[in-house]
Amino acid sequence: MLTADCLDKYQQAGRLEETAIYYFHNVPAEGANEQVLEPLSDKLFPVLDSILPQITPLKTGYLYEDSDLLSPIGLEEVLQKYAADAFVVMMSDAGAVRKYYNVVRLLDTISFFKALRTYTLNYIWLNPLPKSYWKDNTAAQIARHVPMFPLNREGIQQAVNVLRGQQYIIEKPL
């Protein structure tokens, strides 16, 4: 979790005129249509590649204005107010700390990013855990679809370069 001091420094360093900071628990949005997973039901660790076109943007749900998750605000309201042509930085372990694969969490996350993409293509994900922790879990699958970088000096440099427009190859773009 980011501290208030860390967020202040982030805003100052970026010389950003307006920065909106929101929090979430486990996934940025919940409630994607799980019926799209039916063709994958016979797989132990299904990937979403074959059903990506059927995953619809998820704009319902809530983000939170506080780190205690006590002040909800509608996701669609946040997207409409702040996401248009914005630079979006997600920061989460993407489930890597639990070291397991959760296909519903992956579906919800991909569905959220499809909604975000209707407002901006300028987004990255910073993961506080090193890449070695992403292996064989939900984080690894999210990183196949979203530019994800470890939260270290090199990862932050790569993330900033991507936000500046440097090409970054994603295994399975949305």
3-class SS string, the chain: CCCHHHHHHHHHHHCCCCCCCCECCCCCCCCCCHHHHHHHCCCCCCCCHHHHHHCCCCCCCEEECCCCCCCEEEHHHHHHHHHCCCCEEEECCCCHHHCCCCHHHHHHHHHHHHHHHCCCCCEEEEECCCHHHCCCCHHHHHHCCCCEEECCHHHHHHHHHHHCCCCCCCCCCC
pTM of the complete model: 0.87
Instruction: Give me the pLDDT at residue 2, please.
Output: 45
Determine the pLDDT at residue 171: 94
Determine the pLDDT at residue 148. 95
Q: What is the pLDDT along the chain (174 residues), one digit of tens a residue?
A: 344 444 454 455 554 556 788 888 888 889 999 999 999 888 878 889 999 999 999 988 899 998 899 999 999 999 999 889 889 998 988 888 888 888 999 999 999 999 999 999 999 999 999 999 998 889 999 999 999 999 999 999 999 999 889 999 999 998
Q: What pLDDT, on the 0 to 100 scale, is given for residue 94? A: 85
The two tokens of residue 84 are 């248009």
pLDDT score recorded for residue 5: 45
pLDDT at 45: 85
